[in-house]
A and B are shown apart, each in its own frame.
Chain A
Amino acid sequence: MLKRFWSWFWFIVGATYFLVPLYATFDFSLRARRGELSFAAYANVLNDIKFVESFWFSFQTALATIVISALVIVPTAYWVQLRLPRLRPVIEFFTLLPFVVPAVVLVFSLARTYSRTPLTDSREGLWVLLVGSYVILSFPYMYRAVDTGLRAINIHDLTEAAQSLGAGWFTILAQVIFPNVYTALLSGAFITFAIVMGEFTIAALLAQPAFGPYMNRLASSRVYEPSALAIISFALTWAAIAAIQRIGQGAQARVAGPR
């Protein structure tokens, strides 16, 4: 009985710690009009063309990052597990680098390295540099998610089974490996999505009209709208997590293996 009490006690403490600031932000975001609760701040945010533009820009950037990451990381993780298992610790070390190297160092290094190339001469070139930076930032999340997904299936036997049936490497990757790491890829993709949507430093230094710099500008010029934007971002994140769980349930059951 006492154990049950303490379980609930710590649960309530934890929930309070997370929920009270959230509620406070939400409550504050509703007080844009004096003397009444309203969604005026939300309306202001959603009606702002710059919100839509920056959101759409970051959304496209996030999708490009996810696609490129998936195309680079799935074959890499697959090949490392299949043929180069000794390289795994080395790759895992690389996955830690984006945590160690500050974003500002990363972006200056990229800008300096590519300063005399078309990448820094045009808006499109800078966008490519931005996506490249985000691929590096998302590397730890995508690689580890995919690596874990690959470990859940017997890639050696699946590869050899497909080969014996006449499949080449592209077919194996497209029809056997990608569908079976779909859930893992999805979870890495949503983390990447969240990172790209909120990223500020790289986007600002490369002068890109992204969502992160927009939020920052809004926070310095408005009162209630930043809180509304925080709640909108929070809702989008939770919607993404719910989507992962929903889509992942069916796919995960299929790779669960023999009963």
Chain B
Amino acid sequence: MAFLELINIHKSFGASVAVENFNLAVERGEFVSFLGPSGCGKTTTLRMIAGFEKPTAGRIIIDGVDVTDTPPNRRNIGMVFQSYALFPNMTVADNIGFGLKIARRPASEIRARVEELLRIIHMSEFGRRYPYQLSGGQQQRVALARALAIQPKLLLLDEPLSALDAKIRASLRQEIREIQRQLGITTIYVTHDQEEAMALSDRIVVMSRGRIEQIGTPFEVYNFPATRFVASFVGTLNLIQATVVDAAIGLVTVEGQLVRVARPLTQHRSGDAISLAIRPELIALNGQVNGEVNRLSGTVEDVTFLGSIVRVRLGLASNKLHFDLFNNPQLRPPQPGSSITVQFAPEACLVLGEEAASAHPISASAAQAA
């Protein structure tokens, strides 16, 4: 039996449906992220787990106990908020010890636990400060320590890094993951940042308009998107318009240039207009991919230097194609205005709108080949 189970969860606010038919099983010690755009229902689901919202229908089971009707203060769940939500009238130590004080633990135990957590978050000397005397990153670390102090069954984090700058976000992200692994606590993390979700999670739940689009490891979600939404939301995609030439052998034409996809287009007929999706990193300059490849020629419109990679925008007649090259000081990247040919494997092409996209993945081998 899973440690956390969400069974047929449904939540409506009046006529508006926020979450529907949500089913999820999370194992003990697992780190699961809810990923999706604003308004997709991820925070509402998290709040239902915390007990701040009651599901309109469905059950929430934690460690074998149905907590659907249990008030939030009796669920023993630690929560970290985007706004930190530290108590302004209390010092850092008092904030961390608050939950233990409520639980009427002995003062010596509270002191020891607070010191231990201050050590874990590397803020041992900050115990007597007030929240306003800390930076955003420090405040969020204190909020994390406060949530962990009560030794919760479950840790919930609601976009905890959104208010921080990029550098602190990256380091705190690492710190959260290390602490979670160290304590082995089951964690649910809500974010709209796909990079954050992929870097942190054992599994990702991609959500859109209150529904689960896909549940999988970061590798699966990125490389084997189950739906058109997941394909477009996770990672960067080139969307190009194509016309089916021979559906039986998966042959299409992109502005007069033939392209083969990896499987027959069973839902289309010759002459149908379709959308092809190709990840930028699966496209390479001509001659760099072995085996059967597709080739497209066009004019370089723009070259953007992004540090470790160089992103090139290739203009076909009406489609645009972005692809990435590793930065190499010894090699000159293509120059704007020049004509070049790029290539990609048939497996790199995802036909959007086809059912069971997972049967037609952007394959790992293609990713490696590119």
Contacts and interface: CB of A to CB of B under 8 A. Distances in A.
A258 B131 contact: yes
A171 B103 CA distance: 12
Given A160-B79, A258-B139, A253 B102 contact: no
A246 interface: no
Interface stretch (B55-63, B84-92, B187-195, B283-291): B84-92
Contact of A258 (B98, B102, B136): B136
Interface string B128-151: 001110111001000100110010
Interface in B42-76: 50-52, 71-76
A160 B72 contact: yes
Interface string B253-273: 000000000000000000000
A165 interface: yes
B321 interface: no
Interface centre among B74, B98, B130 (most CB of A within 10 A): B98
Given A157-B83, A161-B79, A257 B88 contact: yes
A163 interface: yes
Interface string B214-244: 0000000000000000000000000000000
Contacts of B102: 165-167, 171
Given A163-B72, A164-B147, A166-B102, A258 B84 contact: yes
B123 to A, nearest CB: 15
B210 interface: no
Interface in A156-197: 157-158, 160-168, 171, 175-176, 179-180, 182
Interface centre among B52, B83, B84, B88 (most CB of A within 10 A): B88
B165 to A, nearest CB: 12
A44 interface: no
Contacts of A163: 51-52, 71-73
A157 B81 contact: yes
A106 interface: no
B280 interface: no
Contact of B85 (A160, A166, A182): A160
A162 B132 CA distance: 18
A153 B85 CA distance: 9
Interface residues of A, number: 27
Interface residues of B, number: 36
A164 B87 contact: no
B83 A164 contact: no
Contacts, number: 90
Contacts of A179: 89
A154 B146 CA distance: 18
Contacts of B150: 165-166
Contacts of B52: 160, 163
A13 interface: no
Contacts of B51: 163
B89 A164 contact: no
Interface string A128-163: 000000000000000000000000011001101111
B73 A167 contact: yes
Contacts of B136: 258
A259 interface: yes
A254 interface: yes
Contacts of A161: 79, 81, 85-87, 143, 146
A258 B147 contact: no
Contacts of B135: 258-259
B350 to A, nearest CB: 40
B321 to A, nearest CB: 43
A176 B139 CA distance: 17
Interface of B: 50-52, 71-79, 81, 83-89, 98-99, 102-103, 130-132, 134-136, 139, 143, 146-147, 150, 156
Interface of A: 153-154, 157-158, 160-168, 171, 175-176, 179-180, 182, 251, 253-259
